[in-house]
Amino acid sequence: MFDPHLHLPEVIYALPGFEINIYFQNVVTVINPANFAFDVECEKGRCDQERWRWTPGDDETGRHKLKLSVWSDEGLLAEAETTIVVSPRNAGAGRELVILQIGASCMAAKGHGEQLHSRFQLPDNPRFVMLGSHAPGYTPAVPGGPANEAYGGWTWATFFEKESSANLDNDGLHPKRPWDVPSPFLFERNGKKEFDFQRYIDTVCKGVKPQVVYFELGINGTFLAKTDEEFEKFWLGSQEPYMRKMLSAVRQVLPEAVIGIELMPKGSWSQDAFGKNYGCLQSRRRWLINAELLYKTYMRLADELGFMIIPEYHNGDGTINYPSLEEPVHAASQTMITRSSNALHASLDGYSQWADCEYFFLKYLLAEGLIK
């Protein structure tokens, strides 16, 4: 019987007053999700054609079980369970929360960090501090405003290897990259550049230590894999060793910090977007397999390496959340059609749903007393 590769996060975080979703085609790896039916068993929310959705109330905090089943004309193909954890709206009120985000283009993008920052300006929140050398969109960081340490096209390895702009070529998809910026974690020592997270905290962060450090990395190092074997080669050769070094360095300097890794949405639901950005270098079909392999790798390593999973991929609408362009149906036609035009980099709607997941996760940490 066909295996749809159902992969729900073990836990999905939520907050009163905010919608949380499970978009069904984001939690399976299939070419055409319209060939399947999705049934949800849960005391909360509603099951639609493309998603399960729920906006909890203030009286619905706590843990709620959810079971998702995938069906075809053959019968039941797969089923999985998750727990929806709804934290109190006022978790962390009156405290201070300091975070550091480290990542690639989706974290660096204009709109992502601003959305998260705006959530913490709502009532019943802690004083929120975002550390980093720049603001989203590679603009100067303003004290008290959004900030991060994220760069388009970067990988786990880049933060250890990029001493100058000569180390990384522009791929044409990230025209606003600051090409003259070396890794912010590399410092001169005995005539050569060395990775030094403590000096980064001392200099860039002016000695302020984040309580939470989380990453959006791994996609750039594995995206172009065409087979499972090639994915493993890319991951083991140039990604996992540097991930282990990064997490170890952060843990050594910040022994009490919470470390997390985001599992970001899988991108546009249209092959048109992948064709627009990558030509024939990568297809949506193969990218979905790579994304599943990457997310399952992180889930497998989380306990061993002491980091938490920040699930986001379940919460992204792959149609509305990505830019589109109007163009002729074909070269000989004057009829115009709208096509999805960016495979992985979202519009403001998309970054808003991503930021919700980060917000829910951080409020969970505050509610559970996990932030020192």
Quote the CA–CA distance of 213 and 293 in Å, as a whole number: 23
User: What does the pLDDT read at residue 138?
Assistant: 86
> Which CA distances in Å does 359 have to 12, 62, 81, 133?
12, 17, 23, 21
Please indicate, yes or no, if residue 372 is contained in any of the structural domains.
no
Q: Are β-strands 149-150 and 96-103 bridged in parallel, bridged antiparallel, or unpaired?
A: parallel
- The per-residue pLDDT for range 202-254, each reduced to its tens digit, is 999 999 999 999 999 999 999 999 999 999 999 999 899 999 999 999 999 99
pLDDT band at 284 (very low <50, low <70, confident <90, very high): very high
Residues 70 and 104 placed together within one structural domain of the fold? no
User: What does the pLDDT read at residue 80?
Assistant: 98
- The per-residue pLDDT for range 313-346, each reduced to its tens digit, is 999 999 999 999 999 999 999 999 999 999 999 9
pLDDT band at 144 (very low <50, low <70, confident <90, very high): very high
The tally of domains found in the chain comes to 2
Which whole number is the average pLDDT over 294-306?
97
The chain-wide mean pLDDT, for the chain, equals: 94
Please give the residue range of the domain that contains residue 59.
Answer: 1-86
Q: Looking at 24, 56, 86, which one is the last position of a domain?
A: 86
- Long-range contacts at 290-294 (CB < 8 A, ≥ 24 apart): 290/222, 290/223, 290/225, 290/231, 291/219, 291/266, 292/5, 292/7, 292/29, 293/222, 293/228, 293/231, 293/235, 294/218, 294/219, 294/222, 294/231, 294/235
User: What does the pLDDT read at residue 176?
Assistant: 52
pLDDT over threshold 80, residue 169? no
Residues 194 and 54 placed together within one structural domain of the fold? no
Quote the CA–CA distance of 37 and 33 in Å, as a whole number: 8
Which 8-state DSSP code applies to residue 290? H
Q: Looking at 86, 108, 134, which one is the last position of a domain?
A: 86
Quote the CA–CA distance of 14 and 44 in Å, as a whole number: 12
pLDDT over threshold 60, residue 23? yes
Q: Dihedral sign for Cα 251, 254, 257, 260, please.
A: negative
Please enumerate in sequence order all residues whose Cβ is within 8 A of that of 369, keeping only pairs 6 or more positions apart, or say none: none
Residues 337 and 244 placed together within one structural domain of the fold? yes
CATH of residue 141: 3.40.50.1110
Residues 66 and 146 placed together within one structural domain of the fold? no
DSSP for 102-135, written as a single string: EESHHHHSTTHHHHHHHHTTSSS--EEEEESSBB
3-state secondary structure of 198: helix
At 337, give phi and psi (nearest 5°): -140, 150
User: What does the pLDDT read at residue 173?
Assistant: 52
pLDDT over threshold 80, residue 371? yes
Q: Looking at 40, 66, 86, which one is the last position of a domain?
A: 86
Higher pLDDT, 362 or 153: 362
Residues 214 and 345 placed together within one structural domain of the fold? yes
Quote the CA–CA distance of 202 and 204 in Å, as a whole number: 6
Residues 108 and 222 placed together within one structural domain of the fold? yes
Residues 31 and 105 placed together within one structural domain of the fold? no
Residues 108 and 226 placed together within one structural domain of the fold? yes
Which whole number is the average pLDDT over 252-280?
97
Which whole number is the average pLDDT over 182-207?
95
The C-alpha torsion from 140 through 142 and 146 to 152, rounded to 10°, is 10
CATH of residue 65: 2.60.40.10
Residues 216 and 306 placed together within one structural domain of the fold? yes
- The per-residue pLDDT for range 51-98, each reduced to its tens digit, is 999 999 999 999 999 999 999 999 999 999 999 999 999 999 999 999
**pTM of the complete model:** 0.95
User: What does the pLDDT read at residue 191?
Assistant: 86
Q: Cβ distance 28 to 6 under 8 Å?
A: yes
At 74, give phi and psi (nearest 5°): -75, -20
What would you report as the CA-atom Rg of the chain, rounded to the nearest whole angstrom?
21
